[in-house]
Amino acid sequence: MTVRMKPVDVALVGGGLTAAILGKELAEAGQTVVALERGGMRQTVPDFQSPTMHDELKYDVRHAYAQDVSVQTITFRNFVGQQALPMRQLGSFLPGEGVGGGATHWNGQTWRFQPEWFVLKSWAEQRYGRGFLDDDVTIQDWGITYEELEPYYTFFEKVMGISGAPGNIKGQIQVGGNPFEGPRSEPYPNPPMKQSHSGFLFGQAAAQLGYRPFPVPSANVTRHYTNPFGAEIKPCMYCGFCDPFGCEHFAKASPQVCILPFALANKNFEMRTHSYVLRVEWDRQAKVASGVTYVDAQGREVFQPASMVVLCAFAHHNPILMLQSRIGQPYDPETRTGTVGRNYTYQTMTGAEVFYDGEKRINPFMAAGALGTAIDDFNNGSFDHSGLGFIGGGYIAAYQTTGRPIYHHPVPEGTPRWGLGWKQAVRQHYNSTVSLGFHGSSIPHPNNYLGVDPTYTDAFGQPLGMLTYDFPYNDRLMARYITEKMAGIAQAMGGKQMSVGWLDDHYSIVPYQTTHNTGGAIMGTDPKTSVVNRYLQSWDLHNLWVMGSSVFPQNAGYNPTDTVGALAYWAADAMIKQYLKNPGPLVQP
Amino acid sequence: MAVTVPDHAAAEEHPVQVAQVGRQNALSSPPPRADLPAERGMLFFFNDEEARFVDAAVERLIPSDSEWPGAAWAGVLNFIDRQLAAAYGAGARMYLKGPWVPDAPPQQGYQLRYTPAQLYRIGIAETRAHVTSNYSGREFWDLGAPVMDEVLSSLESGAIELPSLPAPVFFETLLANTIEGFFGDPVYGGNRDMVGWRMVGFPGAYAQFIDLVELYNLPYTRPPISIGDTGARQAYLDGHTHDAQRQ
Ligand SMILES: Cc1cc2nc3c(=O)[nH]c(=O)nc-3n(C[C@H](O)[C@H](O)[C@H](O)COP(=O)(O)OP(=O)(O)OC[C@H]3O[C@@H](n4cnc5c(N)ncnc54)[C@H](O)[C@@H]3O)c2cc1C
Ligand code: SF4
**Number of Cβ pairs < 8 A linking chain A and chain B:** 201
Q: How far is the CA of A76 from the centre of ligand 1 (A)?
A: 20
Is residue B222 very low, low, confident or very high in pLDDT (cuts 50, 70, 90)?
confident
pLDDT of residue B235: 61
Residue among A243, A252, A366 to mutate when testing ligand 2 (max atoms within 8 A of CB): A252
Residue among A152, A51, A36 nearest A572 (CA): A152
- Chain B residue with Cα closest to A71: B95
B175 within domain boundaries: yes
The preferred substitution site among A56, A218, A515, A546 for testing ligand 1, maximizing ligand atoms within 8 Å of CB, is: A515
> Are residues A575 and A26 in contact, defined by beta-carbon separation less than 8 angstroms?
yes
pLDDT computed for residue A229 by the predictor: 98
- B24 and B50 in one domain? no
| Residue in A196, A241, A405 closest to B213 by CB | A196
Dihedral of the alpha carbons of A354, A356, A360, A366, in degrees to the nearest 10: 40
**Beta carbons of A88 and B94 less than 8 Å apart:** yes
Domain that holds residue B217: 9-28+205-247
Considering the domain architecture, whether residues B133 and B241 belong to the same structural domain is answered as no
Beta bridge partners of A435: A353
Q: Is A351 helix (H, G, I), strand (E, B) or coil?
A: strand
For A487-569, strand residue ranges (E) read 497-501, 544-546
Number of independent structural domains in chain B: 2
- Would the CB atoms of A406 and B180 count as touching at under 8 Å? yes
| Nearest atom of ligand 2 to the alpha carbon of A220 | 3
In this prediction, residue A499 carries a pLDDT of 97
Contact A365, B207 (CB under 8 A): yes
Q: What is the model's pLDDT at position A589?
A: 85
- Cβ-based burial of A327 (10 A; exposed 0-12, middle 13-18, buried ≥19): buried
The full set of domains in chain A, from first to last, is 3-579 (3.50.50.60)
Q: Are residues B167 and B236 in the same domain?
A: no
B61, B157: one domain: yes
Ligand 2 atom with the smallest distance to the CA of A367 is: 1
Among chain B residues, the shortest Cα distance to A241 is held by B207
Helix or strand (DSSP H, E) at A85: strand A85-86
Chain B residues in contact with A360 by the CB 8 A cut-off are 216-217
Contact A401, A311 (CB under 8 A): no
Q: Kindly give the number of the ligand 1 atom that is closest to the alpha carbon of A278.
A: 41
B104 to chain A: nearest residue by CA? A85
Residues with CB under 6 A from ligand 2: A 220, 236-239, 241-242, 245, 247, 249, 251-252, 368-369
Q: Does A462 touch chain B (CB under 8 A)?
A: no
- Asked if residue B145 and residue B45 are part of one domain, the reply reads yes
If asked whether residues B126 and B234 sit together in one domain, one would say no
- Taking the C-alpha atoms of residue A332 and residue A341, their distance in angstroms, rounded to an integer, is 9
Active site annotation includes A516: yes
Most informative mutation of A17, A292, A296, A517 for ligand 1 (most atoms within 8 A of CB) = A17
**Phi-psi map region of A306: left, alpha, beta (phi>0 left; psi -120 to 50 alpha):** beta
Residue B71 lies in a domain: yes
Q: Which of A61, A200, A508 sits opposite B106 (nearest CB)?
A: A508
A54·B207 Cβ contact <8 A: yes
CA distances from A496 to A170, A204, A359, A501 (A): 43, 17, 9, 17
A405/B200 touch (CB, cutoff 8 Å), yes or no? yes
Does residue B214 carry a pLDDT above 90?
yes
Are residues B193 and B244 located together in one domain of the fold? no
d(CA A376, CA A557): 9
Asked whether residue B2 is assigned to any structural domain, the reply reads no
Q: Encode chain A (589 residues) as per-residue pLDDT tens digits.
A: 799 999 999 999 999 999 999 999 999 999 999 999 999 999 999 999 888 999 999 999 999 999 999 999 999 999 999 999 999 999 999 999 999 999 999 999 999 999 999 999 999 999 999 989 989 999 999 999 999 999 999 999 999 999 999 999 999 999 999 999 999 999 999 999 999 999 999 999 999 999 999 999 999 999 999 999 999 999 999 999 999 999 999 999 999 999 999 999 999 999 999 999 999 999 999 999 999 999 999 999 999 999 999 999 999 999 999 999 999 999 999 999 999 999 999 999 999 999 999 999 999 999 999 999 999 999 999 999 999 999 999 999 999 999 999 999 999 999 999 999 999 999 999 999 999 999 999 999 999 999 999 999 999 999 999 999 999 999 999 999 999 999 999 999 999 999 999 999 999 999 999 999 999 999 999 999 999 999 999 999 999 999 999 999 999 999 999 999 999 999 999 999 999 999 999 999 8
Shortest CA distance from A416: residue in chain B: B61
Please check whether residues B236 and B189 belong to one and the same domain.
no
- Quick check: is B68 in a domain? yes
